[in-house]
Structure 1
Amino acid sequence: MTPTAAQQEGRTVADLERVLVLAGGMSPEHEVSVRSGRRVAESLRRLGVEAHIADIDAALLERLRTDPPQAVFPVLHGASGEDGATAEILQLSGVPYVGAPPAACRTAFAKPAAKALVAQHGVPVPRGVTLPKSAFHDLGAPALLERVVDRLGLPLFVKPDQGGSAFGATSVDSAEELSAAMVSCFAYGDKAVIEERIDGTEVAVGVVDLGDGPVDLPAVEIVPDGGVYDYAARYTPGRTEFFSPARLSEEAARAAADAALTAHRVLGLRDYSRTDLIVDAAGRVRFLEVNVAPGLTETSTFPLAAEAAELDFARVCRDLAFNAWTRGSAG
């Protein structure tokens, strides 16, 4: 690995003193982002790093210009945070930051594009279609939904083509439920991803690069108490049981890890990511989606995976910020 100018100057993690954590945003995931940002900032402070929290607002650019931190740690979920916009802003401001470059963010945030690219590199994905809201208006919703069911069968899963935290996502068991699921989906986006629903074990696999290349973290098995991993199940303590490492066969666990590493690599991601997968009864792994800024709350799977790997979460946050600082603002 070619050393950066900062590394050549002999900087160490002890020289990391000031980090700005970006949290909040205007997406429906605002509250989750605030909680993630608070945890990152508190973790950095525990290691002696001066960490401040700011939102994306009219004061940010002036703050970055007049009082630039050594590194920015964005934990903005959803649009603006994960679609590449924040990365572009930070690059324009010449500030080093944790996370993927803009182009990689844009590809990963668009679920159909990410799914297609990952599938091209040998990772199985559910069969599905992506349709805009306008198609249902122009062609007639009943006829189009009938074609979808004929093609994909039942059960199905419907979700917006962008965004996270299960907003607008619905599990569909019958043709009669599909119409309502589409209405819910279009409340959060103009395009819907409709996929075959594969019953099995839902797992999340984190990937982290602390300086020696991306490595997979232990898979986290997700068992929501109501059977659906919706917003409440994700962020309400006690609503979901997690097993880390996941209760998978050795072969399935390796396939899940390989899928996450493949997604991280082929999408051009950097520093850390989380890939969501489903493992069927036969142990076959399928890719669902990837997150460039995974949740870092007390109930989020990435910190649970880090703990299972015997990594100190605070040190992970510090090392990611330090690596961004040594990388500089060009990347």
Structure 2
Amino acid sequence: MSQVVPAVRVSDPAMFGRVAVLMGGTSAEREVSLDSGNGVLAALRLRGVDAHAVDGIPALVDGIRAGSIDRVFNILHGNHGGGEDGVVQGLLEALGVPYTGPGVLGSALTMDKIRTKQVWIAEGLPTPRFVRIAPGGDLRAAVRELGYPVFVKPSNEGSSVGVFRILSEGDLAPAIAFAAGYAGELLAEQMVQGQEYTVAILGEIALPSIRIVPAGEWYDYHAKYIADDTQYLCPGMEGEEEEAVRALSLAAFRAVGCSGWGRVDVMRDRVRGLQLIEVNTAPGMTSHSLVPKAAAQLGIDYAELCWRVLEQTL
């Protein structure tokens, strides 16, 4: 299936002015963000952009006050000092500084997996059944309500931080121990038994899907960022199925108020078909990351991808 990619809109890097590549921060995903940010920084400089590394929100504020920042390429991940929860977006909106990625609403909403799923359900979009676990709530009861197998995970984290795969009663102890020391909401989610996919969004198009095939039993933090034996098959589907997963992902992205660029994670259940899992509004841009892999299928290399994302701020 062929896909038409719009031409780049500008060719002069001076149009962007001084660009802050916002990375690092203080979230649980700091190291991944630094890896992504350094890749973006090198790519933009390669294409002549006046780009500079900025580590975290306080340094960003200092740079804006000093008049040394014209726009922001946000590659902060996570919340609590990360850049995916709407806080940075609100700051930049208030100060009139253009930035990459979704705005305040889309960023804040999709950082919260529970509320994201509630919107999808209201819109009639498919997503696995779940039970909300309030801080201090009964995790064991939530899991039993759904029935095994389930995933238990924080509502407001990413990069597989604090995710537990629970196949039976004997797997509960580590999740219960984590919950006891975790201040936020958790959710127990019915496990999808089938294939895992992700679809990147770039502007108005959904890029080719990627089927993720980890060497181990599931796609955990190690498989995402460390292992070299995870397979990424792109496109992940063919024909009408590929069109369907792209269309669903684009609809899911828009339903939660997102625009610009991002990534939608999807699974195909053996019985229930496609199921939406979550949205990433500042996707990883490391050597293992998935958006660059999908873009490459359309002839967009890493540096051009960074340019196209930044171009959306003009």
Verify same fold: TM over 0.5.
yes
Task: Name the structure 2 match of 1:81.
Answer: 83
Q: Which amino acid aligns with 1:125?
A: T
Task: Name the structure 2 match of 1:50.
Answer: 50
Q: Which amino acid aligns with 1:53?
A: A
Task: Name the structure 2 match of 1:112.
Answer: 114
Q: 1:108 to 1:49 in 2, by over 3 A?
A: same
Task: Name the structure 2 match of 1:93.
Answer: 95
Task: Name the structure 2 match of 1:204.
Answer: 198
Q: Which amino acid aligns with 2:135?
A: K
Larger deviation, residues 250-259 vs 22-31: 250-259
> Matches of 2:130 and 2:240 in 1, distance apart?
26
> Matches of 1:178 and 1:252 in 2, distance apart?
36
2:137 alignment partner, SS class: helix
Q: How do residues 257-268 of structure 1 correspond to structure 2 at under 5 angstroms?
A: 257-268=246-257
Q: 1:185 to 1:249 in 2, by over 3 A?
A: farther
Q: 1:241 to 1:188 in 2, by over 3 A?
A: farther
Task: Name the structure 2 match of 1:329.
Answer: none
Task: Name the structure 2 match of 1:127.
Answer: 129
Task: Name the structure 1 match of 2:5.
Answer: none
Contact kept, 8 Å, 2:198 with 2:209, in 1: the verdict is yes
User: In the alignment, which of 221, 233, 238 is matched to residue 211 of structure 2?
Assistant: 221
**Structure 1: gaps spanning 5 or more residues:** 1-10, 327-331
Contact kept, 8 Å, 2:128 with 2:191, in 1: the verdict is yes
| Deviation, structure 1 residue 300 | 0.8
User: In the alignment, which of 189, 193, 196 is matched to residue 187 of structure 2?
Assistant: 193
Task: Name the structure 2 match of 1:271.
Answer: 260
Contact kept, 8 Å, 2:44 with 2:306, in 1: the verdict is yes
| Deviation, structure 1 residue 251 | 3.5
Question: What TM-score, normalized to structure 1?
Answer: 0.86
Q: Which amino acid aligns with 2:208?
A: P
Q: Which amino acid aligns with 1:269?
A: C
Contact kept, 8 Å, 2:197 with 2:210, in 1: the verdict is yes
| Deviation, structure 1 residue 57 | 4.7
Task: Name the structure 1 match of 2:167.
Answer: 173
> Matches of 2:283 and 2:116 in 1, distance apart?
16
Q: 1:98 to 1:186 in 2, by over 3 A?
A: farther
| Deviation, structure 1 residue 265 | 0.9
> Matches of 1:97 and 1:28 in 2, distance apart?
22
Q: 1:283 to 1:252 in 2, by over 3 A?
A: farther
Contact kept, 8 Å, 2:152 with 2:163, in 1: the verdict is yes
User: In the alignment, which of 303, 306, 309 is matched to residue 292 of structure 2?
Assistant: 303
Deviations 1:38-92 (A, max 9, x none): 1111111111112111112534323112234332001010003110011112122
Larger deviation, residues 169-178 vs 275-284: 275-284
Contact kept, 8 Å, 2:156 with 2:184, in 1: the verdict is no
| Deviation, structure 1 residue 176 | 2.5
Q: Which amino acid aligns with 2:245?
A: A
> Matches of 2:85 and 2:209 in 1, distance apart?
25
> Matches of 1:186 and 1:84 in 2, distance apart?
27
**Structure 2: gaps spanning 5 or more residues:** 1-8
1:293 alignment partner, SS class: coil
Task: Name the structure 2 match of 1:29.
Answer: 29
> Matches of 1:124 and 1:170 in 2, distance apart?
22
Question: What TM-score, normalized to structure 2?
Answer: 0.90
> Matches of 2:176 and 2:220 in 1, distance apart?
16
Task: Name the structure 2 match of 1:7.
Answer: none
Q: Which amino acid aligns with 2:281?
A: V
> Matches of 2:241 and 2:164 in 1, distance apart?
26
Q: Which runs of 4+ in 1 moved over 6 A?
A: none
| Deviation, structure 1 residue 119 | 2.3
For the aligned residue pairs, the C-alpha RMSD in angstroms reads: 1.9
Contact kept, 8 Å, 1:17 with 1:48, in 2: the verdict is no
Contact kept, 8 Å, 2:109 with 2:115, in 1: the verdict is yes
Task: Name the structure 2 match of 1:236.
Answer: 226
Contact kept, 8 Å, 1:168 with 1:186, in 2: the verdict is no
Number of corresponding residues: 302
Contact kept, 8 Å, 1:158 with 1:185, in 2: the verdict is no
Q: Which amino acid aligns with 2:242?
A: A
Deviations 1:149-200 (A, max 9, x none): 1x31111111100110101001111022124223335655521110111111
2:133 alignment partner, SS class: strand
> Matches of 1:306 and 1:155 in 2, distance apart?
34
Contact kept, 8 Å, 1:39 with 1:296, in 2: the verdict is yes
1:133 alignment partner, SS class: coil
